[in-house]
Structure 1
C-alpha cells in the first residue's frame, strides 16, 4: 500500500520533468516530507475537449485531495477510506469503476514510506523510505473524481480527489530491491513508465481492463530502479515534517 510519501519539488520543476502545460508552473505546492491521506497532493491529468479542435488537452498539473470521493458520496469524509485502490478489484468496486474508465491521473511523489512488521511478537515496526535511484519523481497510477456537496447548493465548490492504485508486491525471494520490496509489504503502489503516461491519461480510452493490466505488468520494471533505507520512527507522526525524516538511521 501507500500511506505516506514525500513531495518537496516546486511546480516549475515538475513542468519541466513531465512536459506539462506551462501554466501549471503557476500552481503553488506545499513542500512536505510526510504527506498523509486526506492531504492535498500534486496530480497530472489530461482533459477531453481541451486540445486543438476539441481533442484531448495537454498534461496539466492539479492539486487533489488524497482519498477518492465519488460523485455519489454523501460527504468528503468518504475519501479517508479510499486513498488506495486494489488493481484486482478496481474495475468492479463502485467507488472506482467509473473513474478507472476515463478519469485516470498520475499521482506524483519523490518517494514513499513503508513499515516492516517485526519478526517477533515483542518486536517493533521499522519504517523505510523508498525512492528512485536517479532522483526522478515517481508517477503512481491514480484515479481522480470531481465532487460537490449537493446539500450546499449550486454555489458549493468542487473538490478534486484522487487515489493510488496498488498491486501485489514482488516475490520476497527475488534478488535486489524487488525482493526487498516484497519482504517489506505485500502490496506495491503501482509506478508507471514514462512511455505509458499518455496512454494511461487519455480520457478517450475507456479500455480499463487493458490499461490496468498493462500498468501492473510494467510496475516491477520501474520499481527495479528504486532504492530503500531505514529511517527514524518520527515519520509515524504526521505533525513531523522536515528533510530529517528521510535520512538513513543505519549505514
Structure 2
C-alpha cells in the first residue's frame, strides 16, 4: 500500500512541472503526508488544474465521511469490481504528485523507516481517483485515493504493495476522460521499474504524523543507525 509520502515542492514548482496556469492555492512543502490530510492533486476539467483534496476517498453516495479512512488505496486488480472505485475510474482520474514515500522494514517487534525516491530526485505522479461528497449542510468535501499494484523487486522486501507511479509520458493518457476502458490503460498501471529508485534509512521521527519538517527525509543519524544495527 501507499500509506505515507512527501512532496517537498512549492506551488510554483508544481505549476512548472505540470504546465499549469497560475493558481492561488496555499501550499507549502510537506514531508509527512498522511491519510485524512489534504494534499495536492492534478485533475483535468477542460484544462489541467491543481487542487487540494483530502486523502481517503469518500464516494458521493457514502452515508458519512468516515469511510475515507478505509479507502486511502485502490487495488488496480479490482478497480472495476467496487462501485466506489469503478465510478471514479470512468469519470474522475487524477495525478497525485510526490517527491518520495516511506516504507518500514519489520525487524522483530521493531519497524525501521526508509525513505524512497527516484534517483533523479524529480517529482513523480502516482495514479489516483477522486470524488466529491456533500454533507447535510451542503458543504462539499473533495477526496482522493492512490491506486496500488504489486511491488517491484526493490520495494518487495518492505511491502507487498506499491503505488502505481506513472511514467511522465503516460500522465496525460491517465487524465484523458475519453479513454474509459481499463484494458486500454493496463499497460501504464504497472510496477515502476526498480532501477529508478534509491532509498535510505531515516529517523523514527517520521513514525509520528505530527512531525512534518525537512529533516525527516534526511538519512538517519549515525547514533540511530548504530542503535538499529546492534
* TM-score normalised by structure 2 residue count: 0.91
After superposition, residues 238-249 of structure 1 pair within 5 angstroms as: 238-249=209-220
2:103 corresponds to: 114
Counterpart CA distance in 1 for 2:104 and 2:121 is 22
Kept in 2, the 8 Å contact 1:91–1:209? The answer is: no
2:206 maps to 1:208: no
Kept in 2, the 8 Å contact 1:141–1:215? The answer is: no
Kept in 2, the 8 Å contact 1:102–1:202? The answer is: no
Offset of residue 134 of structure 1: 1.2
Residues 136-165 of structure 1, C-alpha deviations (whole Å, 9 max, x = no match): 11200000111111x22xxx2221110000
Structure 2 gaps of 5+ residues are 226-230
1:40 corresponds to: 38
1:164 corresponds to: 146
Kept in 1, the 8 Å contact 2:154–2:197? The answer is: no
Counterpart CA distance in 2 for 1:65 and 1:123 is 32
Counterpart CA distance in 1 for 2:80 and 2:204 is 36
Residues 1-56 of structure 1, C-alpha deviations (whole Å, 9 max, x = no match): 11111123111111111112x123x2111432111000001000111xxxxxxxxx
Kept in 2, the 8 Å contact 1:66–1:162? The answer is: yes
The structure that is strand-richer by fraction is: 2
Counterpart CA distance in 1 for 2:183 and 2:154 is 29
Aligned to 2:172, what secondary structure does the other structure show?
helix
Structure 1 gaps of 5+ residues are 48-56, 171-178
Counterpart CA distance in 1 for 2:198 and 2:154 is 9
Counterpart CA distance in 1 for 2:206 and 2:131 is 29
After superposition, residues 167-178 of structure 1 pair within 5 angstroms as: 167-170=149-152
2:225 maps to 1:225: no
Aligned to 1:165, what secondary structure does the other structure show?
strand
Offset of residue 191 of structure 1: 0.3
Structure 1 segments, 4+ long, off by >2 Å, are none
Aligned to 1:97, what secondary structure does the other structure show?
helix
1:50 corresponds to: none
Offset of residue 123 of structure 1: 4.2
Correspondent of 1:187 among 154, 161, 165: 161
1:148 corresponds to: 134
**Equivalenced residues, count:** 222
Counterpart CA distance in 1 for 2:195 and 2:101 is 15
Counterpart CA distance in 1 for 2:146 and 2:160 is 16
